[in-house]
Structure 1
Amino acid sequence: MQRSRSDIDDRYQWDLTTIYETPADFDREYQRADTLVDAISDELDTPPEGSATLVTLLERFECLTAARTRLECYAECSRTIDLTDDAARDRQDRTRSLAGEVDGLTSDVRRYCRRHANRLADLRTESDALAPFERFLENAVDGPAADPSLRSLLETFGDVLDGHDRTLTAICDEDFEPPIVEGSDGDPVAVRWHNRVQLLKDPDRDFRRRVYEAFHDALDERANAIATAWTEKLRTRARVAEARGFDSIREMGLSKASYPKTGIHLSGPSAVHDTLLETVSENLEPYHRLQRRRRIHLAVDEFRPWDRHVSLTSRAEPTISYEDACEYVLAAVEPLGVEYRTRLEALLEERRVDVYPAADSRDVTYCLSASGVGPFVSLSYDGSVRALFHFAHELGHAMETDLRADVRRPLYETTPRPVEEVPSLVHELLLADHLLDNGDDALTAHVLNRRLDAIGGNLFGAAQSARFTHEAAMVVERGDSLTRERLDGINRELHSEFRPVEEPAEYTPSAWLARAHVREPYHNYQYVLGAAGAVSVYEALVDSRLSVEDYRTFLQFGGTKSSMEQFAHLGVDVTAPTPYERAATWVDRDVDSIEGNRSDAAP
């Protein structure tokens, strides 16, 4: 039974008054933003008369996008902490509606820049007043040519176009009743989205099977609804991609707005997506070897889906207090400099982390950011090693947000999608390094397992999910029917390629149901790039090929550099196979370490 939020000390809860002192302040900014949408839209009917006029337009648009980040952050956080709060639901619905209008306006602003590109070029040479907006204007002019009807489509039907996401959220989250199974000690255990992986680490194999089957039984009851909603989501994205001038869902997905949305689209080339999928598929042996090692460790004839998360050590997993978790992470980031650690410590003291799950709250882990305010982390901390690393991961995002705000105006307080997982996974690798050097034996044995999950899961697991999405999207784009059976078939083939050691179970073909379908298609590749990029960056920092100062510069680029420029600054060529191959060798090396260190058996 989860405790009530009122039973959790305030210091472990968000202080959302740093965004808005009261809900009434939210309402006032919402009204100002709503009015600003119409005002800016009216200004787009007239060509820019001079640089001052254009600067005013862009400054007003920048104010709107900054307000949007605050409204979205407050609405999402309020909804996360209390799913029963009707006022919070209303704020979230209103914010989503406004976001659709802002998305439509953003398309209009970018199209306005393209339509008047020659005039803008003249104004940029005549005056330095537009210099702060140089990158935004270049990005807008270079974007794809959208259908003029797109604004009307997004503004009139934007809420409907996002309806599939609300359906998926309701089915998989808000209306999902966690199944109850009998625990190893005979007590009832609720299987939730957020705790199921941790439950599947339990040494009791019968309990793990009950957890796996109960969770997938519950999903199977919703399978047709999930399949229908996700298929319609892909079809909708295909139509929107065509309207926006993209050749495919993938091209649009790789060019989606950076986060937070400020009107900048910093795309990743399709060739990079091809390279990472091909290279990972050609280097699966370390992943297969990891599966074989788990089967040997468990001493089972058949390795099953409920065995894949079991630790490769027999030592009991320690429980880590939140206070100890903070100290571990702060010590781990010391190689990034005293100022970096001090900034992180300040964030932790400002109640930026909502630490523990509570009754009627969402069990989610994420980091949101609000312009002019900073980051907010949802943690659902349970004291496990996995939760400790999730904490470090989200703080990597938080620190990028915090450092970026020092030097970037609101329009550039955003991160290209292809690079956004690098800082978070660098944090995980630094934490693993610190704990392997300084932790006790029981903890370090589990840390090595977690590093395998961090690199192996993000490299191989995310690549498998990325392949699934890509193949499903291509079915839709060919005009073929994408049924639940078709989706099961795609997943069955990928399972045999990525997990040949694992004997399929009844729900193996439909395991795709447990993925994060509420997110945009083509998001998984970011985690593959994150794993490959983080390994390369970590090695370069250790070898002094990349200085701490240059790494901090990368964290502060924001929307001023493309993703490929940012990777180049780090010395990582993601267009070549090498980074992915290097990450695969890390998995191989860690399996070597485990096989060579069998002294971790329980005393």
Structure 2
Amino acid sequence: MKRESIDQKYLWDLTDLFVSDEAWETALTELKEASKAFQLYKGRLLESRETLRSALETYENLSRKLMNLVTYARLKMDENTKESKYQGMVSRSEKLATEIQKENAFFIPELLEGDEKTIEALLNHEDLSHYKKYFSDLLRKKPHILSEEMESVLARVGELGDAPSNAYGMLLNADMTFEEAVDAQGEGHALTNGSYVPLLMSKDRSLRKDAFEKYYKVYEGHINTLSSLLQSEVNKNIFFSKMRNFSSAREAALFENNIPVTVPDRLIEAVNNNLESFYKYMELRKKVLGLDELHLYDIYTPIVSGVDFPITYDEAGTMVTDALAPLGKEYQEGIRSAFSQRWIDVYETEGKRSGAYSAGTYDSRPYVLLNHKDDMNSMFTLAHELGHSMHSYLTRQNQPYVYGNYSIFVAEVASTTNEALLNDYLLKTVEDKEKRKYILNHYLEQFRGTIFRQTMFAEFERDIHQRVEQGGALTNEFLCDHYLKLNKKYFGPDVVIDDQIKYEWSRIPHMYYNFYVYQYATGFSAAIALSDQILKEGKPAVDRFLEFLSSGSSDYPIDILRKAGADMETKDPVSNAMKVFKEGVEELEKLMS
């Protein structure tokens, strides 16, 4: 489908970023000049209240303008990834970002060189008082921030640190080729990194098995290179953690958002303590599929299929809006704004980036990229991305720029809460038994993919970093053997753990995200806890949730979530999510009988 053929109401409106590409070019030139002027503050940041205020405001202004430039270029490129013009604009804006970072490397170290009493006195003035949390956080980081010269060196080394991830991406996306997967009728199907999971969802078991075996055969053939790349990535994480005086790579990664290192451990412990309910789900899958043996190539194919559940985009918008009624009229009005003010780029078009996301800047509306199909999965994707967008929208309405964003640790909470409320709405309004089974199975699959799978990844990531920090090496034998053991533990006795799965770690790009994956599971668990409170408590829980959405980074994420009703330093939210999962499995089992 050509983009030009789409009704304008289904295309996002980027004019609050830039009215044209020419306006973007002008802003890029102006920012280059403005960034040089910031050097005038060097050595003077704490000389007076006026100078400090001016420097902070100028620094923020540079950051805001830069984010507008980068975001506009990326969004335009994602409209058509084949368009070289926007590829160039992305490259130029990101290069400018690197230059500004290098030029302004003095800023944070100079602030931290100041006497704490002097800083405190300056912040006591009304026009600077809202920076108190910002400076408190800076001072917390002081032991881990280096001299201006060393910060500049690390900024340059950081570019080299991207090499393992970049090489990994090129190997997967450009160099790997796969044999066709053959179905039961002998017909070939293109096998790629993108088609692999869809093929595993096929009803044709011969096709699933052939795709599984041929897919991992290619990874096996590259396993020495893939092991070396992951070893380099782990070494990089450990190097930067040591340079910044942390005791471990995990402590360094979690320190930025002040997340206790016990949080991912609590997650892993809570999930490990509740694997029996997951085993029961696998047992139900085996029974429903009528298999003597349930293999790992059988876990993606739907156990509820053949359900006709067409939902147009406009219908999905109405249903999502109605489903979010428990969050109040103002929240619903925000959702309606997403449709009326063209936050959303709806349909797949030629060259458009795949998938879905929510993006934007402090100065723009939130933007949502979709590739909508008229089905239930797309409706849940819409609800999910609107959750992100409303989180951004309410944060920017209620927080100054310095706190106008939120951490990755809480990023999935709003989106998953929306999905949980949509799931509840559907189960309360849909009477057809087959559709109810379909909805419930969809919900349980989210648990499988988000809590159980991501926690297994988090456990693997924790273990491989600890091994290197304790003097061990990440040989391909260790990586494969350890990953195989984790699969056996997580899937339990009713699943045949095919030997090829030991190579799966090498196809997971999140292993290059530096302790990122656990946050999918903690965020999902928190969302299940909060949505449960919203539905049972009503207004008190809603008020806490809206306060959470409006808080941005004005407090640490662990504290913001605790105030909302989910204390992630305990096992309670994860254990509660496990209880909800168990009840869902039992309900689906009854519906299937």
> Using the alignment, how far apart are the partners of 1:398 and 1:534 within structure 2?
16
Pairs aligned (count): 587
Partner of 1:238: 238
| 3-state SS of paired residue (2:367) | strand
Structure 2: gaps (5+ residues): none
| 3-state SS of paired residue (1:537) | helix
Say yes or no: does 1:451 pair with 2:443: yes
> Using the alignment, how far apart are the partners of 2:497 and 2:583 within structure 1?
27
1:32-75 deviations in whole A, cap 9, x for unaligned? 44444444355232351111110111111111222233233223
> Using the alignment, how far apart are the partners of 1:284 and 1:533 within structure 2?
19
The 1:591–1:188 alpha-carbon spacing in structure 2 relative to 1, beyond 3 Å, is same
Partner of 2:522: 529
Partner of 1:78: 76
Equivalences for residues 415-454 of structure 1 within 5 A: 415-439=406-430, 441=432, 442-454=434-446
What's the offset of the Cα at 1:436?
A: 0.9
1:137 to 135, 138, 141: 135
Equivalences for residues 43-54 of structure 1 within 5 A: 43-54=41-52
Say yes or no: does 1:69 pair with 2:67: yes
2:498 to 483, 501, 505: 505
> Using the alignment, how far apart are the partners of 2:219 and 2:280 within structure 1?
30
Say yes or no: does 1:386 pair with 2:385: no
1:95 to 78, 82, 93: 93
What's the offset of the Cα at 1:104?
A: 5.3
Partner of 1:515: 508
The 1:215–1:362 alpha-carbon spacing in structure 2 relative to 1, beyond 3 Å, is farther
The 1:240–1:50 alpha-carbon spacing in structure 2 relative to 1, beyond 3 Å, is same
1:329-388 deviations in whole A, cap 9, x for unaligned? 111111111121121121123332233334433323222221210322222333443333
2:285 to 282, 294, 299: 294
The 1:68–1:280 alpha-carbon spacing in structure 2 relative to 1, beyond 3 Å, is farther
> Using the alignment, how far apart are the partners of 1:171 and 1:383 within structure 2?
34
Equivalences for residues 114-513 of structure 1 within 5 A: 114-116=112-114, 117-125=116-124, 127-143=125-141, 144-148=143-147, 149-173=149-173, 181=181, 190=190, 196-217=196-217, 219=219, 223-256=223-256, 266-439=257-430, 441=432, 442-500=434-492, 501-513=494-506
Check conservation: 1:37, 1:101, Cα contact below 8 A.
Answer: no
Partner of 2:547: 553
| 3-state SS of paired residue (1:367) | strand
| 3-state SS of paired residue (2:509) | coil
> Using the alignment, how far apart are the partners of 1:214 and 1:7 within structure 2?
39
Corresponding letter in the other structure for 2:252? M
| 3-state SS of paired residue (1:420) | helix
What's the offset of the Cα at 1:239?
A: 1.6
2:22 to 17, 21, 24: 24
1:517-558 deviations in whole A, cap 9, x for unaligned? 376211111112112211211121122174322211110100
Check conservation: 1:302, 1:502, Cα contact below 8 A.
Answer: yes
> Using the alignment, how far apart are the partners of 1:153 and 1:372 within structure 2?
32
What's the offset of the Cα at 1:180?
A: 5.5
Check conservation: 1:404, 1:558, Cα contact below 8 A.
Answer: yes
| 3-state SS of paired residue (2:368) | strand
Corresponding letter in the other structure for 1:53? T
Say yes or no: does 1:566 pair with 2:560: yes
Check conservation: 2:286, 2:293, Cα contact below 8 A.
Answer: yes
Partner of 1:259: none
Name the stretch that deviates more: 573-582 or 222-231: 222-231
1:385-405 deviations in whole A, cap 9, x for unaligned? 333322211211111011111
| 3-state SS of paired residue (2:233) | helix
Corresponding letter in the other structure for 1:281? N
Partner of 1:598: 592
Partner of 1:262: none
Length-normalised TM-score, structure 2: 0.90
Check conservation: 1:55, 1:130, Cα contact below 8 A.
Answer: yes
Length-normalised TM-score, structure 1: 0.89
> Using the alignment, how far apart are the partners of 1:389 and 1:214 within structure 2?
32
> Using the alignment, how far apart are the partners of 1:249 and 1:88 within structure 2?
36
> Using the alignment, how far apart are the partners of 2:184 and 2:435 within structure 1?
23
Name the stretch that deviates more: 397-406 or 19-28: 19-28
Check conservation: 1:168, 1:517, Cα contact below 8 A.
Answer: no
| 3-state SS of paired residue (2:510) | coil
The 1:388–1:188 alpha-carbon spacing in structure 2 relative to 1, beyond 3 Å, is farther
| 3-state SS of paired residue (1:507) | helix
> Using the alignment, how far apart are the partners of 1:217 and 1:376 within structure 2?
40
The 1:337–1:427 alpha-carbon spacing in structure 2 relative to 1, beyond 3 Å, is same
Check conservation: 2:17, 2:72, Cα contact below 8 A.
Answer: yes
Say yes or no: does 1:58 pair with 2:49: no
| 3-state SS of paired residue (2:85) | helix
Q: Percent identity?
A: 23
> Using the alignment, how far apart are the partners of 2:217 and 2:44 within structure 1?
58
| 3-state SS of paired residue (1:320) | coil
Partner of 2:582: 588
Say yes or no: does 1:577 pair with 2:571: yes
Check conservation: 2:219, 2:506, Cα contact below 8 A.
Answer: yes
Name the stretch that deviates more: 136-145 or 154-163: 154-163
| 3-state SS of paired residue (2:352) | coil
Name the stretch that deviates more: 63-72 or 325-334: 63-72
Name the stretch that deviates more: 392-401 or 441-450: 441-450
Check conservation: 1:230, 1:517, Cα contact below 8 A.
Answer: no
